[in-house]
Amino acid sequence: MKVLLASPRGFCAGVIMAIDSLDLAIKTLGTPIYVYHEIVHNKFVVERFREQGAIFVDDLAEVPPGSNLLFSAHGVSPQIREQAKSRELFSVDATCPLVTKVHLEAVRYAKEGRTIILIGHEGHDEVIGTMGEAPEAIVLVETPEDVDRLEVADPQNLAYLTQTTLSVDDANRVIRRLRERFPDIAAPPKDDICYATQNRQEAVRLLSQEADIVLVVGSHNSSNSLRLAEIGHETGLPAHLIDGAADIDPAWFQGDETVLVSAGASAPEVLVEECIAYLRENFAAEVELRTVRQEEVHFPLPRELRSLVDSQ
């Protein structure tokens, strides 16, 4: 067996910042510490923090007044921030800066009086937070067919934004349809889909041309991990989204395949290493690292944590 180990893969800068933030918050503030939504969408990461005393909640009513709270990487609505303030919670904002960028764009377009078409997945934490910035002005679409069904008051006064973790191809299909129906629609000056999402998708798309099967390490509630597996499927290959080595079924392999291994932006490298070790042990796999893009992005820790550290 030959393994093509895709690079880049795994943690992006936003996930690293969020995980480092929770690590540091536990060290400096102690436990329990409450986290609004999962810190990132990965079962392994969430369980590790739960064992350390982090308590994940989906409703701030579960957080005792005066407690310490961390907002996840996916961002929250202004209403949640106000609720945290009213409960006198000490809040640490670990929102990915690329998600914050989309929030600010939503606020700007709403102030301009535009109807905002948000391309994203209903119910995703990031989408809920973004729509909360201007709920009266944002309409959610997921597919070109959703665009066909759109009814807007002023077709000349629209803008679109996208969830940061979408499939680039899927988003572009929706954007093309939006531009066909509404040629004057405004767009953000820079692509909303994050650099890491695009890079990981590009790596899977390119390297799958040399592979027989695709393994993507990541959890099933991780949007960007799901997109990587979907890209594998779209190339006509068997593609499996797995939380770790325990999910690998040996019946997937004959033993002489070329296996492409990648990981979603919220999947820890230790899980990738366990999968590689499994393939080496069971199929004598030889591993070849294949780098498609270099990544050197780094995000600073939240201001609240930097202030805490500086005061100690």
The CA distance from 225 to 166, in Å, is 10
pLDDT band at 312 (very low <50, low <70, confident <90, very high): low
Q: Which of these is catalytic: 38, 126, 133, 257?
A: 126
Per-residue pLDDT reduced to its tens digit, 148-179: 999 999 999 999 999 999 989 899 999 999 99
Alpha-helical runs (H) found in the chain: 13-29, 43-52, 78-86, 97-111, 125-131, 144-148, 168-181, 195-207, 223-234, 269-283, 303-311
Does the pLDDT of residue 12 top 70, yes or no?
A: yes
Q: What is the SS3 assignment for 108?
A: helix
Top-tier CATH class for 2-11+195-291: alpha beta
The CA distance from 277 to 159, in Å, is 48
pLDDT over 90, % of the chain:
94
What does the pLDDT average to over 112-131? 97
Residue 128 corresponds to which tokens in the numbers above? 């809920």
Does the pLDDT of residue 47 top 70, yes or no?
A: yes
The whole-model pTM stands at 0.92
| Residue 126 is a catalytic residue | yes
pLDDT for 177: 98
pLDDT for 207: 98
Q: Which of 45-54, 190-199, 209-218 has the lowest mean pLDDT?
A: 190-199
The CA distance from 95 to 205, in Å, is 28
Give the CATH number of domain 13-97+299-311; options: 3.40.50.11270, 2.60.40.10, 3.30.930.10, 1.10.1040.50. 3.40.50.11270
Does the pLDDT of residue 311 top 80, yes or no?
A: no
Mean pLDDT of all residues in the chain? 96
Q: Is the bond preceding residue 8 a cis peptide, omega within 30 degrees?
A: yes
pLDDT for 308: 79
What does the pLDDT average to over 18-44? 96
Backbone angles phi, psi at 195, to 5 degrees: -55, -40
List the one residue out of 133, 138, 195 whose CA is nearest residue 161.
138
Q: Is the bond preceding residue 302 a cis peptide, omega within 30 degrees?
A: no
Q: Domain 105-181 carries which CATH code?
A: 3.40.1010.20
CATH topology match: 2-11+195-291 vs 105-181: yes
Q: Where exactly are the structural domains of the chain?
A: 2-11+195-291, 13-97+299-311, 105-181
The CA distance from 150 to 140, in Å, is 10
